[in-house]
Amino acid sequence: MAAQHPANDSSRRRYQYIDKFLNRAGPSTDPDFVPGAPTIANLETSKVLVIGAGGLGCEILKNLAMSGFKDIQVIDMDTIDVSNLNRQFLFRKDDVGMSKAEVAAASVMKRCKDVKITPFNGKIQDKDEDFYLQFKIIICGLDSIEARRWINATLCSMVDMENPESLKPLVDGGTEGFKGQARVILPTLTSCIECQLDMHAPRAAVPLCTLATIPRQPEHCIEWAKIIAWEEHRKDTVLDTDDPEHITWLYEKALNRAKEFNIPGVTYQTTQGVVKNIIPAIASTNAIIAAACCNEAFKLATSCNPNLTNYMMYTGDDSIYTYTFEHEQKPDCPVCGNLAKTITVNSNQTLQEFIESLGERPEAQLKKPTLRTESTSLYFQSPLSLEEQTRPNLSKKLRELISDGEEVGVSDPAFIIDFKFKLVFQP
């Protein structure tokens, strides 16, 4: 007979459905799987970090607490907005303006009294490696590519091949409308977020000439108000996308612009979404992706079944469809690889144009890059003295600054790693 958990009956009644998996081996369990008390104890003592306490994070925290995890920490820098209440179910109207992490933790612990959730209100970048080393699993419920790339690079840099405990599995979930994905990343061993960056291509920018002369969509009118009208009428005021007065001003300008070109669809809510680049969120998609993420965390903590290898995509806009596949590591990945990534460029392109293209390229998405070769500095974003010294290079053509096939080192203040690109001239 399989070993039973010593704390039986009332203390395990909540988890009786989970114990069916943990008290007996199955056809796919790991060879090292030990059913019963040891595995249950391992689950309860596994310390998990949840990054993000929004729509996905609320679902993840609830699922983890109901799955037998007893020691959870959550970090989020945001406060609760009234617009969050329709899908972030751990929050109530009286919580508006309060820390998401703190309210979410208190809400779950109120319902699951045997679970400890420690909240942190702040940025993930404010924590050092020692903070992340204490966790067995890290789960991301973020809406920011930049934050994902930062935690991915941090976890990869922490890996010490002589210390297996330094490898922290990363379970990442993301949603956009009716679409979502879940993935399991074993830093340095499997494909990482940077390897998969081109699957999250930045949204195409609308040409300024379209905004200024022939807008065709409500979004064009809103972008016109944000980029052109604001600069003309309020250039001395820094646009604050969280200020209702600023959003209202943009909405009114965009609405008048839309009426001029007979374009329907400009609303305050649409204006807010375009200006703040809000990704549409649907509660059911969050629930499905959060369930997938927590299922993977449960398997990693208990070895009761093989974990996902390594990417699951979901779409529910036109029926329901899921697909899993293994995304392969890239040898030229700047985070987990060791080769420079090859980029084909026009040798007549100026350095300024190349820098701007780094923000638009799916495989780069770098907004404030500093560039250098092995022999010279091409351009520094900061400090000001170096920026002024290298500024003349911006107007020079690439062929004047580098040779065909030369490697260029690129750094960006948003990331803790340096990137290597091999620039190959177009024939």
Return the active site residues.
209
- Give phi and psi for 154, each to the nearest 5: -65, -45
Could you give the count of Cα atoms lying within 13 Å of 267 in the half-sphere of its Cβ?
4
Provide the phi-psi class of 178: left if phi over 0, else alpha when psi is between -120 and 50, else beta. alpha
Q: Quote the CA–CA distance of 107 and 113 in Å, as a whole number.
A: 10
3-state DSSP assignment of residue 213: helix
* Selection from 40, 82, 45, 75 nearest residue 61 by Cα: 75
Instruction: Scan for tokens 């943990």, then name that residue.
Output: 22
Q: Quote the CA–CA distance of 298 and 168 in Å, as a whole number.
A: 14
3-state DSSP assignment of residue 168: coil
Angle, vertex CA 413, rays to CA 407 and CA 415, nearest 5: 75
Q: Quote the CA–CA distance of 298 and 81 in Å, as a whole number.
A: 31
* Selection from 387, 308, 330, 385 nearest residue 355 by Cα: 387
User: What single DSSP character describes residue 34?
Assistant: -
Alpha helices in 127-207 (DSSP H): 129-133, 145-158
Asked whether 360 and 205 are in contact (CB, 8 A), the reply is: yes
